[in-house]
Amino acid sequence: MTYDAVVFDNDGVLTEITDWDVLRGAARDAFSHFDVDPSDDDLSAVASRVTVDGLEATCARHGLDPADFWHRRDTNYTTVQQREVREGRKPMYEDADVVRDLDVPLGIVSSNQHATIEYILDHYDLREEFVTYYGRQPTVEDVRRKKPDPHFVERALADVGTENAVYVGDSETDVEAAHAAGVDSVFLRREHRSDLTLSVDPTYEFETLHPLTDLV
């Protein structure tokens, strides 16, 4: 099978994952902005794998407006991740250079913030390699739309102009979002995913990005 476009996740695929302690600190600072001393459960609810129900329940416990809190949390996340990129602690993977060799339209769909993705593309001089790219806006509504919801994958497919595409990610939700959007998937089993057992079957499983050159 060959494809007319490739859409990528970002974190764990093109760039290394942001250090967990950095993100947890940014979440703590979001609570501090509203004079709240968060518990470990509070931090867990808003630091990673966030759901709208979990976010709203956490905000309700502290009398916070979910929209205001989430905007602050996501703004903090963008700020610290931009710093991590600048200071070399969130580098591109070496094999991510394959994007320069894929002679088909390319896109990005990430559950990271859109502003973070824009900064990464500019810092690594990759913006011109991609026809389209989507991260989340700092809104509760975009929490609802993050993967495994296919919303942003479908938007990217419309932008690249074909449904004969493959989506490349490093998580189960990436595979689920791809298949919900009606396209094939690549599960990228990098070192940080070496022990992950999937409950869904990707179309392909690779350890690096290099085999993509044979799919386009």
Tell me the mean pLDDT per 10 residues along the chain, length 216. Answer: 97 98 98 98 96 98 98 98 98 97 97 98 97 98 98 98 98 98 98 96 98 97
What does the CA dihedral 181, 204, 132, 153 come to, rounded to 10 degrees?
Answer: 20
The top-level CATH class assigned to 5-16+91-214 is alpha beta
pLDDT at position 16: 98
Please answer whether residues 6 and 159 qualify as being in contact, where contact means their C-beta atoms are separated by less than 8 angstroms: no
CA distance 173 to 129: 25
Contacts of 114 (CB under 8 A, 6+ apart): 133, 134, 135, 136, 137
With the C-alpha atoms ordered 35, 37, 41, 43, is the resulting torsion angle positive or negative?
positive
Task: Count Cα atoms within 13 angstroms, Cβ side, for 184.
Answer: 17
pTM summary value? 0.96
pLDDT at position 10: 98
Residue ranges per structural domain of the chain: 5-16+91-214, 20-86
pLDDT at position 1: 86
The 3-state secondary structure of 21-41, one letter per residue: HHHHHHHHHHHHHCCCCCCHH
Query: pLDDT digit string (tens) for 169-210?
Result: 999 999 999 999 999 999 999 999 999 999 999 999 999 999
pLDDT at position 161: 97
pLDDT at position 166: 98
CA distance 61 to 20: 24
